[in-house]
Amino acid sequence: MGDRVILHADLNNFYASVECLHRPEIRDKPVAVCGDPAARHGIVLAKNYLAKATGIKTGEVIWQARQKCPQLLVVPPNYPLYLRFGRLARSIYSSYTDQVEPFGLDEAWLDVSGSIHIFGDGIRIADEIRERIKSELGITASVGVSYNKIFAKLGSDMKKPDATTIISRENFKQVVWPLPAGELLYVGRATRHKLARRGISTIGDIAGADPGYLRSFLGKWGEVLWSFANGYDSSAVVHQGEESLIKSVGNSITTPRDLESDEDVQMIFYVLSESVAARMREHGFKCRTVQIQIRDKDLFSFGVQGKFSKPTYLSSDLAEKAMELFRINYSWTNPIRSVGVRGCDLVSADSHEQLSLFENEAWRIKQDKIEATVDVLRYRFGHFSIQRAVLLKDNELGVINPKEDHVIHPVAFFKEGRLP
């Protein structure tokens, strides 16, 4: 059996490209899509090529970007529009294979091994996809072609915009190994610094290092990165429509202002718990554990979790347990900047459960009906059509809607675990 044929398609400057497509009046100006600076998400999420030419980088704060380009036009993100274009791009990919694995809104892997006898080789398919995206969607894409997912993604990153790059078994040592180590998937800033301190600066250096030595300071991911660098990645492209088991539902937020009291934190717990509970009900889950994540203004962070006596999807249960965990584990050394709530150990919402003689089951049934009614009202009339009274105490914290106004992040390459 021959090598697989894997493509990685990356929509160029996706958010900014879609904005410029829909707003012709800004196409000839330097444009950056940025989070709301008033809500403390004021970083550059995407930029067009005119902005990029001034040195603006994704992830830097708006004031830094404006120093480089005083005439920069900042626009807020329009996630529903980006979701629509992401779906349209995936429908194009689906014309060639049912093995399409999204990697965020703007990237996807395609395994076209079974399609090459119909559509031609990987290069021809990649070129055709690029032309269709350009003509049907009005934006451009770069596509990497390789025999594994890691090198296909490297290929799509190497030439932009609107280019096809081939990385094969025959040329990967010449093409990939001279690249900086940070170009390899999951070599982030911290890992890059650890490698550099040991004289490992290129992907070839990673490939040539002893895997045991890499493991000694990077843990098990040292060996993973070694296998990536040597082209040994054999991970499959997930079939379209195949959904991995959902193990948790959560949400987090960097707050509009620092939280300085238990009352502040309680408000945010209710805001987040309502969004998490609504999502669990929407997908038919209850959780047996709640987990909280806290980060203070000096960026110290911790996480802790606690179990419920029985599974729940009630926001009040999540918020109260979260507050209980917080009071036990935080001593207010510093004001708090970021809060997260997550429901874990999920079970089906319609699974059988043992009733208790010592709890007010009638009250729980009533709460179930109340929260279901709140879901309906918010669906019909908007999130702020009904609110808890406690959220009316603060005009900054009470107007957060994390269920809808959230940043969309790429999914993980691995379905389990975390990388360094």
Look at residue 2 and tell me if it is in a domain: yes
Number of domains in the chain: 3
Amino acid code (one letter) for 410: P
Examine the domain organization and report whether 295 and 232 are in the same domain. no
Examine the domain organization and report whether 4 and 119 are in the same domain. yes
Band (pLDDT 50/70/90 cuts) for residue 407 is: very low
Examine the domain organization and report whether 62 and 137 are in the same domain. yes
Over residues 285-322, the pLDDT tens digits come to: 889 999 999 988 887 888 999 999 889 999 999 999 99
Examine the domain organization and report whether 182 and 140 are in the same domain. no
Please give the Cα distance from 289 to 307 (Å, whole number).
4
Provide the CATH number for the domain around residue 27: 3.30.70.270
Provide the CATH number for the domain around residue 288: 3.30.1490.100
Does the annotation mark 107 as catalytic? Answer: yes
Residue 377 CB coordination number (10 Å) = 13
pLDDT of residue 406: 44
> Taking 70 as the threshold, does the pLDDT of residue 281 lie above it?
yes
Look at residue 28 and tell me if it is in a domain: yes
Range of the domain at 269: 248-393
Examine the domain organization and report whether 19 and 48 are in the same domain. yes
Domain finish residue from 208, 242, 276: 242
pLDDT of residue 103: 82
Task: Note the residue count of the chain.
Answer: 420
Nearest alpha-carbon partner for 408 in 273, 251, 272, 282: 251
Q: What DSSP letter does each residue of 98-119 carry, written as one string?
A: S-EEESSSSEEEEE-TTTHHHH
Q: Which two tokens stand for residue 245?
A: 């088991």
Look at residue 404 and tell me if it is in a domain: no
Look at residue 63 and tell me if it is in a domain: yes
Over residues 147-193, the pLDDT tens digits come to: 999 999 999 999 999 999 999 999 999 999 999 999 998 887 788 99
Catalytic residue among 25, 107, 128, 274: 107
Domain finish residue from 146, 167, 188: 167
Domain finish residue from 223, 242, 261: 242
> Taking 70 as the threshold, does the pLDDT of residue 1 lie above it?
no
Please give the Cα distance from 269 to 249 (Å, whole number).
15
> Taking 80 as the threshold, does the pLDDT of residue 277 lie above it?
yes
Look at residue 407 and tell me if it is in a domain: no
pLDDT of residue 420: 41
Examine the domain organization and report whether 138 and 274 are in the same domain. no
